[in-house]
Copies of this chain bind each other. A is one copy, B any other.
Protein backbone atom coordinates (compact mmCIF):
# COMPACT_ATOMS: atom_id res chain seq x y z
CA UNK A 1 0.00 0.00 0.00
CA UNK A 2 1.28 3.38 -0.94
CA UNK A 3 -0.72 5.96 1.02
CA UNK A 4 1.06 9.14 -0.02
CA UNK A 5 0.21 11.20 3.04
CA UNK A 6 -3.20 12.78 3.38
CA UNK A 7 -1.62 15.83 4.93
CA UNK A 8 -0.54 18.99 3.22
CA UNK A 9 1.64 21.74 4.59
CA UNK A 10 2.97 25.10 3.62
CA UNK A 11 6.20 25.03 5.47
CA UNK A 12 8.03 26.34 2.46
CA UNK A 13 5.87 29.42 2.14
CA UNK A 14 5.95 30.03 5.88
CA UNK A 15 9.72 29.65 5.96
CA UNK A 16 10.07 32.49 3.51
CA UNK A 17 7.47 34.51 5.34
CA UNK A 18 9.44 33.90 8.52
CA UNK A 19 12.46 35.94 7.62
CA UNK A 20 13.63 33.69 4.77
CA UNK A 21 14.56 30.90 7.12
CA UNK A 22 16.45 28.10 5.38
CA UNK A 23 15.63 24.41 5.72
CA UNK A 24 18.82 23.96 7.63
CA UNK A 25 18.04 26.77 10.05
CA UNK A 26 14.55 25.45 10.65
CA UNK A 27 15.85 21.94 11.15
CA UNK A 28 18.36 23.11 13.71
CA UNK A 29 15.81 25.27 15.48
CA UNK A 30 13.43 22.40 16.06
CA UNK A 31 16.07 19.77 16.62
CA UNK A 32 15.68 17.54 13.60
CA UNK A 33 17.85 17.01 10.57
CA UNK A 34 17.60 18.82 7.26
CA UNK A 35 16.51 15.55 5.68
CA UNK A 36 13.46 15.51 7.87
CA UNK A 37 12.44 19.01 6.81
CA UNK A 38 12.91 18.16 3.16
CA UNK A 39 10.85 14.98 3.41
CA UNK A 40 8.06 16.73 5.25
CA UNK A 41 8.01 19.73 2.93
CA UNK A 42 7.71 17.37 0.03
CA UNK A 43 4.96 15.40 1.69
CA UNK A 44 6.92 12.17 1.59
CA UNK A 45 5.73 11.45 5.08
CA UNK A 46 3.87 13.27 7.79
CA UNK A 47 5.83 14.22 10.88
CA UNK A 48 5.14 13.11 14.41
CA UNK A 49 2.78 15.33 16.36
CA UNK A 50 5.73 16.55 18.35
CA UNK A 51 7.74 17.53 15.30
CA UNK A 52 4.66 19.21 13.85
CA UNK A 53 4.14 21.27 16.99
CA UNK A 54 7.76 22.34 17.02
CA UNK A 55 7.64 23.38 13.40
CA UNK A 56 4.53 25.49 13.93
CA UNK A 57 6.18 27.04 16.97
CA UNK A 58 9.36 27.85 15.08
CA UNK A 59 7.38 29.39 12.25
CA UNK A 60 5.35 31.41 14.68
CA UNK A 61 1.96 30.11 13.63
CA UNK A 62 -0.60 27.58 14.82
CA UNK A 63 -0.35 23.90 14.02
CA UNK A 64 -3.36 24.04 11.77
CA UNK A 65 -1.89 26.97 9.87
CA UNK A 66 1.03 24.81 8.80
CA UNK A 67 -0.61 21.44 8.29
CA UNK A 68 -4.00 20.64 6.87
CA UNK A 69 -5.60 17.25 6.79
CA UNK A 70 -7.20 16.31 3.50
CA UNK A 71 -9.76 13.62 4.35
CA UNK A 72 -9.53 10.66 1.96
CA UNK A 73 -12.45 11.98 -0.10
CA UNK A 74 -15.46 9.81 0.55
CA UNK A 75 -17.23 8.71 -2.61
CA UNK A 76 -20.15 11.04 -3.30
Contact = CB atoms under 8 A, between A and B. Distances in A.
What secondary structure prevails in chain A residues at the interface with B? Answer: mixed
A18 interface: no
A54 B6 CA distance: 11
Contacts of A64: 62-64
A33 interface: no
Contacts of A57: 69, 71
A49 B67 contact: yes
A35 B70 CA distance: 25
A30 B57 CA distance: 27
Interface of A: 5-7, 46-50, 52-54, 57, 62-64, 67, 69, 71
